[in-house]
Amino acid sequence: MPPVIRSNQLAQVDGQEVTLQGWIYNRTHKGKLVFLLVRDGYGFVQCVAFQRDLDPELFEAIVRVPQESSVRISGVVRADKRAPGIPGGYEIGITGLEIVQSVEGEYPIALKEHGVDFLLDHRHLWIRVPSQWAILRVRATVIKAIRDWLDGNGFTLVDTPILTPAACEGTTTLFGTKYFDEGMAYLAQSGQLYNEADIFAFGKVYCFGPTFRAEKSKTRRHLTEFWMVEPEMAFCDLDQLMEMEEQFISHIVQTVLRDCRAELLSLGRDLTVLEKVVPPFPRISYDDAVKKLAEIRDRTDDPEQKALLTMEWGGDFGSPHETELTKLYDKPVFCYGYPSAVKAFYMEPWPGRPEVSKSVDLLAPEGYGEITGGSERISDPDLLLERIRQHDLPEDAFRWYIDLRRYGSVPHSGFGLGVERTVAWLCGIDHIRETIPYPRTINRVYP
């Protein structure tokens, strides 16, 4: 058997006889000529067989091999501009075919449009198709870029618990589970409070794992289980946080452009908009954003849009507001200085303006909305205690958290980045359920 190669390395073995191990994605029979489109996990390759070049039994086997059958194909690699595939441009002239398993019966996913519910019921098979394969390859690259950048810039990975004693922020609805004789435990919605403890031991830390929200959100931007990376830094104020974030995000985007070019192109993504994502990012204060939104609203004729954009200083932005704001820029934009009332209890107040918090969200362009949310944290123990009381949070549960401000308190900041929203933006797809291998939504836990 000729040496086994990966389909994304075909250019390096042009002219050589190789073996490709994979699955039949599509077959086009033209009579005396057959095209097989083969997946091998690394890409999609066209393999071609001419009847006159092969013995009749082999040719007949190639003609008959059903979709999704597992195969070992040997043949000679050649460049051909007509060859489809990911990345494409090379094809294999078949000299041999070994069928590992021949599929019997109908394969559920046809090469045509399907409904969302049907596809999600068959998610275990859906991930084989080019679009889903490409998206999940981008996801893996995003995660690797995140870890590489943080590991290379002085951050220590410190894992935070998934089973937690209570609501971290006391806001969203959590999934609960009975925890032996200790009452209820809750699936983590954030590792942030633990991160804040960890920076006093390690300086700069991050946690990276699944988080859970039991909110009954039914939109293209929500999952009940999603992945979030949360960096946290000691001796870091809000401005330094934004500087770090733009370096970090730019690294992720440029890494994906470099390592997942074929995947992005196969998804039809416009790469020029991603190439622009380099520091610095534009920054707009909440105050100015509210003014801009009022101007946009005044210019709008659509009464429905007018109603959606209505807001006064003090409210939080909804999805329509974020979309309009991001349309003003061709890069991600920082929006900072939200009213304290709409943000979590632990955020540092703006100097001289206690009604404003040192908070910052990063909004992705093209209407993708909030991909990070962060802030400078309160460093004064008395102020923190005051806020905990104002928010009616159980003081006892936060005793350890207040301790952090009593023993060597420093200005510190951090944020959370939603992996799925980032992948959706980079891939240019409109629903985040496609950016996670097995999405969990309010009415789906299968497969």
Partner RNA sequence: UCCUCGGUAGCUCAAUUGGCAGAGCGACCGGCUGUUAACCGGUUGGUUCCUGGUUCGAGUCCAGGCCGAGGAGCCA
Residues 303-362 that bind RNA (CB under 7 A): 308, 316, 318-320, 322, 342
Pick the closer one to RNA by CB: 67 or 381. Answer: 67
Number of C-alpha atoms within 13 angstroms, CB side, residue 175?
17
DSSP state of 180: T
Q: Is 228 in the site for RNA (CB under 7 A)?
A: yes
Place of tokens 């006064």: 312
Using CB under 7 A, pick the residue from 241, 337, 418, 426 that binds RNA: 418
Q: Residue 181 CB, nearest distance to RNA (Å)?
A: 31
Using CB under 7 A, pick the residue from 56, 112, 178, 182 that binds RNA: 112
Q: Is 416 in the site for RNA (CB under 7 A)?
A: yes
Using CB under 7 A, pick the residue from 41, 108, 161, 268 that binds RNA: 108
Q: Is 51 in the site for RNA (CB under 7 A)?
A: yes
> Residues 163-170: contacts with CB within 8 Å, 24+ apart?
163/187, 163/188, 164/188, 165/397, 166/394, 166/397, 168/192, 168/193, 169/344, 169/345, 169/346, 170/345, 170/391, 170/392, 170/393
Using CB under 7 A, pick the residue from 69, 141, 190, 340 that binds RNA: 190
Using CB under 7 A, pick the residue from 57, 219, 295, 298 that binds RNA: 219
Pick the closer one to RNA by CB: 121 or 259. Answer: 121
Q: Is 391 in the site for RNA (CB under 7 A)?
A: no
Q: Is 444 in the site for RNA (CB under 7 A)?
A: yes
Let me know if 412 is exposed, middle or buried by CB neighbors in 10 A (0-12, 13-18, 19+): buried
Q: Is 144 in the site for RNA (CB under 7 A)?
A: no
Per the CB < 8 A criterion, the answer to whether 398 and 388 are in contact is yes
Contact letters for RNA, residues 74-93 (x by CB under 7 A): ------x-xxx------x--
Using CB under 7 A, pick the residue from 24, 40, 45, 46 that binds RNA: 46
Using CB under 7 A, pick the residue from 14, 100, 118, 403 that binds RNA: 118
Q: Residue 425 CB, nearest distance to RNA (Å)?
A: 11
The C-alpha atoms of residue 75 and residue 15 are separated, in whole angstroms, by 10
Q: Is 300 in the site for RNA (CB under 7 A)?
A: no
Strands 333-336 and 349-350: unpaired
Partners of residue 418 on adjacent β-strands:
228
- What is the distance between the terminal CA atoms of the chain, rounded to a whole angstrom? 37
Q: Is 56 in the site for RNA (CB under 7 A)?
A: no
Let me know if 178 is exposed, middle or buried by CB neighbors in 10 A (0-12, 13-18, 19+): exposed
> Would you call the peptide bond into 280 cis, given omega within 30 degrees of 0 as the criterion?
yes
